[in-house]
Amino acid sequence: MDPRPLSLTFIGTATVLLRWGELTLLTDPNFLHRGQLAYLGKGLVSRRLTEPALGVGDLPPLSGVVLSHLHGDHFDRVARRGLDRSVPLLTTPHAQRRLVGRHGFRDVTGLRTWQARTLVAGGDQVRVTAVPGRHAPGPFQALLPPVMGSVLEFGEVGGPVQRTVYLSGDTLDVPELREVPARYPSVDVAVLHLGGTTLPGGLVVTLDAVAGADVLELIDPAAAVPVHYDDYGVFRSPLADFRAEVDRRGLSGVVRYVGRGETAEF
């Protein structure tokens, strides 16, 4: 077994840097500053309450970006201006059309559910597979952009998978998620988008504390990192509630709480 660790640096919201071997991936790049507005579509906005731990100009060279969906708290105007237009971007077909057609990114792959793309850096590779996610219930899905979760399988080129990471994306706990552990029964790290994002009228569109703990039990990873819980005013389910729920279920040994600007190794 390769002894190299997988490292995760939490920047804020759902933005993390994942490093394994020669690969460096960025997820859901959100670099707005405290007080700036994120545009969520359909006239909805939310003000950022926190400061990102890094600026887009502080990033290391990237092997790729995994973008769960095109929302202003996941891909903002700062990231749009600051990211290299040639960096490989793996996202939904909906986001691909806009990133290429409107914003001039040149290497964007729109992945439908269970489609994959492999990125290579030196002698290392990561296979990124789009997995199910649903950002709103029933007919309310039309109000929000399509979203994907992702499974990242790291290993040496031509060799076996050595680390597996699940990124939930902004999803609810929906039946489609049951297919993820059926196909990937051994996940090393799960990155869970929490916050119980609540839109006007009380519509909840991301995992709250209870649903987050349910998905944690479903995926059953060796370790989990909660993200996306206190950065915007629409996040209504605080991390303390998730921590209490996890403790109540006897799962506290699985969860790693990584503060903004901190790096954890797995």
Assign 138 a pLDDT band (cuts: 50, 70, 90).
Answer: confident
Q: What is the pLDDT of residue 91?
A: 98
Which pLDDT tens digit goes with each residue over 86-106?
999 999 999 999 999 889 999
Assign 130 a pLDDT band (cuts: 50, 70, 90).
Answer: very high
Instruction: With a cut of 90, say whether residue 260 has pLDDT above it.
Output: yes
Q: What is the pLDDT of residue 139?
A: 85
What percent of the chain has pLDDT above 90? 90
Find the helix packing angle between 209-219 and 239-248, rounded to 10°: 50
pTM of the predicted model as reported, rounded to 2 decimal places:
0.97
- Rounded to the nearest 10°, the torsion over CA 34, 35, 36, 41 is 110
Q: Greatest CA span in the chain, whole angstroms?
A: 51
Cβ pair 176, 158 in contact under 8 A: no
> Which CATH code fits 6-254?
3.60.15.10
Q: Mean pLDDT of all residues in the chain?
A: 96
Instruction: With a cut of 90, say whether residue 251 has pLDDT above it.
Output: yes
Assign 2 a pLDDT band (cuts: 50, 70, 90).
Answer: low
Cβ pair 65, 87 in contact under 8 A: yes
User: Tokens 């999803």 map to which residue?
Assistant: 171
Q: What is the pLDDT of residue 240?
A: 98
Which pLDDT tens digit goes with each residue over 21-32?
999 999 999 999
Cβ pair 233, 49 in contact under 8 A: yes
**What's the rounded mean pLDDT across residues 167-190?**
98
Listed range (78-82, 115-119, 199-203) with the worst mean pLDDT = 199-203
Assign 144 a pLDDT band (cuts: 50, 70, 90).
Answer: confident
160, with CB counted inside 10 A (0-12, 13-18, 19+), is exposed
Instruction: With a cut of 80, say whether residue 157 has pLDDT above it.
Output: yes
Helix (H) or strand (E) holding 93: helix 93-101
Determine what percent of the chain falls in helix, strand and coil, rounding each to the nearest 5: 20, 30, 50
User: Tokens 């797995």 map to which residue?
Assistant: 266
**89-91 vs 64-66, strand pairing mode:** parallel
**What's the rounded mean pLDDT across residues 210-232?**
98
What percent of the chain has pLDDT above 70? 99
